[in-house]
Amino acid sequence: MPKTYNNKISVIIPTLDEAENIAELLHFLMQNGKEHIAEIIVSDANSEDETQEISKSLGVKVICIKQASRAYQMNEAAEIAVGDILYFVHADAKPPKTFASDIINFIKKGYDFGCYRFKFDSKHPFLALNSFFTRFKVLWCRGGDQTLFIKKSVFEENKGFNEEFVVMEDFELIKRLWKKYKFGIIPKSVLVSARKYEDNSYWQVNLANLKIYKMFMKGYHPQVLKEKYLQLIKHPKGIK
């Protein structure tokens, strides 16, 4: 097991063909994380573009994962992480500049895990409505785009992400820990890409999300969730 550094954050980024986004995100994290960051780990699922090369050139840890599944990728990175706080970030998301101190402060206040609100890089009025609801502490308003911070000890005690889930892995983890640990929502927003809505209509994506959420809550098998999700909207990045 790696030596763990107290009050330090290991940022974990699962990637698949993210050369377009990864350099900007890494520069941002390094510039704004500073002394609070123990490391940044890019957990890459055999990208066919230059994601790995770009990441390595910027001096972050890169691990190559054969299975293109965020749950698996993030678990593998968490296993080697040295910070006592894990922070999971999608490659097309940009946290607030104060992300590191925000997370440290929330942990010091007694929160075990949590997330931010989010807003889209789009002026679409309906997307603004979606963003508004992420301020509320209800499960259906959560999602990986909001990023997720969690004490490494809590993550390990609960065996991390359930690797059966290729979609809804973040919901599954939060739902499992919801009543056992203190969950907080930092009252600032992560800027996330609206690219899913550019490839599908607004209503198509939202109806797909609602359908999959209901199926998840009813206990449908993870493989069924994946297959249904791929049927409902155009193939999202990171799902095979």
pLDDT tens per residue across span 218-227: 999 999 999 9
Q: What is the rounded CA–CA span in Å between residue 12 and residue 86?
A: 7
**Looking at the domain assignment, is residue 207 inside a domain?**
no
**Looking at the domain assignment, is residue 104 inside a domain?**
yes
Given a cut of 90, whether residue 192 has pLDDT beyond it is no
Q: What is the rounded CA–CA span in Å between residue 136 and residue 143?
A: 12
**Looking at the domain assignment, is residue 147 inside a domain?**
yes
Residue type, position 213, single letter? Y
Contact (Cβ atoms closer than 8 angstroms) between residue 19 and residue 47 = yes
Torsion 22-147-204-208 (CA) sign? positive
CB atoms within 10 A of CB 175: 14
**Looking at the domain assignment, is residue 185 inside a domain?**
yes
Given a cut of 90, whether residue 194 has pLDDT beyond it is no
Buried b (16+ CB within 10 A) or exposed e, 130-167: bbeebeeeeeebbbbbbbbbbbbebbeebebbebebbb
**Looking at the domain assignment, is residue 238 inside a domain?**
no
**Looking at the domain assignment, is residue 202 inside a domain?**
no
Q: What is the rounded CA–CA span in Å between residue 194 and residue 210?
A: 17
Q: For the chain, where are the alpha helices, taking DSSP H only?
A: 19-33, 51-57, 70-80, 99-108, 125-132, 152-157, 169-177, 195-199, 202-217, 222-232
CATH number where 86 lies: 3.90.550.10
**Looking at the domain assignment, is residue 219 inside a domain?**
no
Given a cut of 80, whether residue 237 has pLDDT beyond it is no
What's the domain count of the chain? 1
**Looking at the domain assignment, is residue 166 inside a domain?**
yes
Domain of 12? 5-124+137-194
pLDDT digit string (tens) for 117-175?
999 888 888 888 888 888 989 888 888 789 999 999 999 999 999 999 999 999 999 99
Residue type, position 159, single letter? K
